[in-house]
Amino acid sequence: MSDLHKTIEAVWKIESTRLIAGIARVTRDIGIAEELAQDALVAALEQWPEEGIPEKPGAWLMTAAKRRAIDHLRRGRMLEIKHGEITRELEFQQRRLGEAMDQALDAVIDDDVLRLIFTACHPVLAVEGRVALTLRVACGLTTAEIARSFLVPEKTLGQRIFRAKKTLAEAHVPFETPRGDELRKRVESVLSVVYLIFNEGYTATAGEEWMRAELCDEALRLGRMLAQLLPEESEVEGLLALMELQASRTAARRGPGGEAVLLLEQDRSLWDRAQIERGMAALDRAQELGGGARGYALQAAIALCHARANTAAETDWERIVLLYDALLEISPSPIVALNRAVAVGMAQGLGCGPAAALKALDALAEEPALANYHLFPSVRGDVLMKLGRYAEARKELQRALGMTENRRERVLLSTKLEGVLRQMGLPVTMEAEELK
Interacting residue ranges for other proteins, rule: CB under 8 A: 3, 6-7, 9-11, 13-14, 57, 103, 106, 110, 214, 217, 220-225, 228-229, 250-251, 256, 269-274, 277-278
Q: Among 347, 206, 223, which Cα is nearest to 283's?
A: 223
How far is 301 from 161, CA to CA, in rounded Å? 35
Enter the DSSP assignment of 314: G
| Of residues 13 and 155, the one with the C-beta less far from other proteins | 13
Find out whether 231 and 291 touch, Cβ atoms under 8 Å.
no
Please report how close the Cβ of residue 279 comes to other proteins at its closest, in angstroms. 12
Q: Considering the complex, what minimum distance in angstroms separates the CB of residue 232 from other proteins?
A: 16
Rounded to whole angstroms, how far apart are CA atoms 280 and 304? 7
Torsion of CA 416, 417, 422, 424, to 10 degrees: 120
Q: Which is nearer to other proteins, 6 or 83 (CB)?
A: 6
- Reduced to 3 states, what is the DSSP secondary structure of residue 315? coil
Min dist. Cβ of residue 264 to other proteins (A): 18
Distance (Å, whole) CA 321 – CA 389: 24
Decide whether 3 or 80 has the Cβ nearer to other proteins.
3
Count of residues in the chain: 436
Q: Which is nearer to other proteins, 62 or 413 (CB)?
A: 62
Please answer whether residues 129 and 160 qualify as being in contact, where contact means their C-beta atoms are separated by less than 8 angstroms: yes
- Within 10 Å of residue 210's Cβ, how many Cβ atoms? 17
Distance of closest approach, residue 427 Cβ to other proteins, in angstroms? 32
Using a 10 angstrom Cβ sphere, with 0-12 exposed, 13-18 middle and 19 or more buried, the burial of residue 318 is: middle
Which of residues 14 and 151 has its CB atom nearest to other proteins in the complex?
14
How many CB atoms within 10 Å of residue 358?
21
CA distance 238 to 295: 8
Pick between residue 232 and residue 277 the one whose CB is nearest to other proteins: 277
Angstrom distance (rounded) from CA 15 to CA 59: 9
The amino acid at 400: A
Nearer to other proteins, 129 or 140 (CB): 140
Calpha distance 237→85 (Å, rounded): 37
Q: How far is the CB of 256 from other proteins (least distance, A)?
A: 5
Q: Which long-range CB contacts under 8 A does 156-160 form with residues at least 24 apart?
A: 157/132, 160/128, 160/129, 160/132
At closest approach, how far in Å is the CB of 273 from other proteins? Answer: 4
* Closest by Cα among 132, 127, 130 to 118: 130
- 41 versus 397: smaller Cβ distance to other proteins: 41
Q: How far is the CB of 163 from other proteins (least distance, A)?
A: 27
274 vs 391 by CB, closer to other proteins: 274
In whole angstroms, give the CA distance from residue 228 to residue 240: 11
Bridge partners, 260 (sequence order): 254
Cβ of residue 305: shortest distance to other proteins, in angstroms?
Answer: 15
- The CB-of-30 to other proteins minimum distance in angstroms stands at 19
Instruction: Closer to other proteins by CB, 82 or 273: give it.
Output: 273
What is the smallest separation between the CB atom of 224 and other proteins, expressed in angstroms?
4
